Each structure stands twice: as C-alpha cells, then as structure tokens.
Amino acid sequence: MPQVQKITSLEVPELAPYRTLRRPLEHREQGIFVAEGEKVVRRLLESHLTVVSLLLPEKWFLEYEALISSRPENISVYLAEKSTLQELVGFSMFQGVLAVGKIPVAHTLKRVLEQSAHPYLFAAVEGVSNAENVGALVRNCAAFGVQALLVSRSSSSPFLRRAVRNSMGAIFRLPVVERLELEETLRELRTRGVRCIAAHPHLDTHTLWQADFSSDCCVVFGSEGYGISADVISGCDACVAIPMHSGVDSLNVGNAAAVFFYEAGRQRNRV
C-alpha cells in the first residue's frame, strides 16, 4: 500500500532527491532517476522498474491511486500544491508531477545479443552530451523497433531527468548498455557478423537508400558538432548519409535516427 504524506515542510529528508534535480551526478551515484510529467510518471508506474516515491498535487494522486496500489512496492507519496513543489525543485513545472525510480541493473552486450532476435537492429551513440537529444534518440529507438541502445562513455546517460522526459518514458522499456568504449564494442559486434554503419558523411559515403539494413546491423550516431570520431568510423563497415538539399549539412541526432530507423524498417518490411 502507498504511504501517503502531505508535505508541511520542504526540509523533509525523504524529499532530498527532488531538491537536487540540478545535481544529476548525485542521483547517478545513488542509482536513482527522476521522472517528470503526467505521461512519463504514468508509464513509470506501468513499467517493471522499481518506483521509490512520488511528489505531486492531490488531484494527480487520485488519478494514479489505483495504479499505485497495484504496484508491489510500498511507494512513498508526498502531496503538495504545485506552487510548493515549484519552490522545492527550484523551477516552474507545467503539471507538477514527479517520481523517483531506481535505475535498473545494467544490461551487458552479451545479454542484449542473447535476448535479441535476428536480424538485429541496434543503435550506438558517441559524444552526444545533450540529455534531451539522447532522450529523443531513445524515443525513436523504441518507436522503430530498435532492440538496444549502446551508449559510449562520452555521451549523456539516458536516465538523466531531461533524457527521461524527452524519451516520454520509452527508456523504461528499451535495453541500454552504458559507459562503453565504443571502438571495442564495435569490434566485438563485427566478429559476431553485425554490420556497423556510421551515420556520417565521408569521402566514400553511401546514400541512405544504397545501404543494406536487412541483415544484423548497428547504426552509429555522433554529436551534432563533431559527428563521429575517426577511431569509431574506422571500426565501422560503412558510412551512410541522408541526402539533403544544398546548404543543410546535418540534422538533430533524434531526427536523423528516425530517418535511418524508418529506412531499416522499410527494408525489413516492417513499415
């Protein structure tokens, strides 16, 4: 059963994760993440991930009550007016709905390969430090049937608050392997017959429709500013670019991913 408490003081120790929203490294060290917004929190409550607590106005608790009660945990629910919540977290919120969940046990590449069906469709990301862009990428992975996302050490975690929010909760059901040395990971994939395709303009770049996504493959994306590093490109089987009109040389990583995954699905007769 949920443990419901109306907030009378912003100094309640249990509210510490909500007071430190701007200090994501502390959350990471504690193995927790923050979900923000009505739909994202609802999807967290519907997921298999562990929910620690909720912080929200009473009207939203009534909306969630049946779902909360169906959970196996004894979730702590803190109720307050939205103005009080905004004072606590330090910024304006549209709905005033927040939750804390536990970051799941990390997937490994070995586990992902064992649990995924052929033909594999993986995504990898290098150097994307903007959490919102990582979240958009996660959402597109889930939307187009990508089986796992491989995240390099140089990229933001998809469990940062803004990434979770931009994924619209898709992170709760997408297997993620984090903190990878991407060059090593790509080498291992290639030894297992997985083609690694760099989403990157290059001297010998193919256009999107010339690439083969029908067999086991992993599409690699880089940052908007610098693209994919030379070391990672050298570990890929091919470079592939989206044809664009003159004067436009790149897309946001989330938008580019959607185009690539759509083409992969088309070739696999999924769309």
3-102 and 109-267 in the same fold:
no
Average pLDDT over residues 192-204: 88
Question: In which band, very low, low, confident or very high, does the pLDDT at 10 lie, cut at 50, 70 and 90?
Answer: confident
* Structural Rg of the chain based on CA atoms: 20
pLDDT at 159: 96
Are 35 and 41 spatial neighbours (Cβ–Cβ below 8 Å)? yes
Which tokens in the block code for residue 193? 């017959």
The Cα 147–Cα 149 span in angstroms is 7
**pTM for the whole thing?**
0.93
Which tokens in the block code for residue 261? 């995954």
pLDDT at 94: 63
- Mind listing the pLDDT tens digit for each residue in 80-118? 887 888 787 777 676 789 999 999 998 999 999 999 999
DSSP per-residue codes, 65-104 = HHHHHTSSS--EEEE--HHHHHHHHTS--SS--EEEEEPP
Are 151 and 109 spatial neighbours (Cβ–Cβ below 8 Å)? no
In the predicted model, is pLDDT for residue 271 greater than 60? no
Domain ranges across the chain: 3-102, 109-267
Phi first, then psi: what are they for 121, rounded to 5°? -135, 105
pLDDT at 270: 66
The residues that bridge with 78 in the sheet, in sequence order, are: 5, 55
pLDDT at 80: 86
Average pLDDT over residues 182-190: 97
Least trusted range by pLDDT, from 26-30, 115-119, 157-161: 26-30
CATH superfamily for 3-102 is Ribosomal protein L30/S12 (3.30.1330.30)
Least trusted range by pLDDT, from 52-66, 82-96, 129-143: 82-96
SS3 (DSSP) at 112: helix
**% pLDDT > 70, the chain:** 97
Q: Please, what is the average pLDDT of the chain?
A: 92
Q: How do 98-102 and 32-36 pair as beta strands?
A: antiparallel
SS3 (DSSP) at 6: strand
Residue type, 111: R
Least trusted range by pLDDT, from 27-36, 83-92, 249-258: 83-92
CATH class of the domain comprising 109-267:
alpha beta
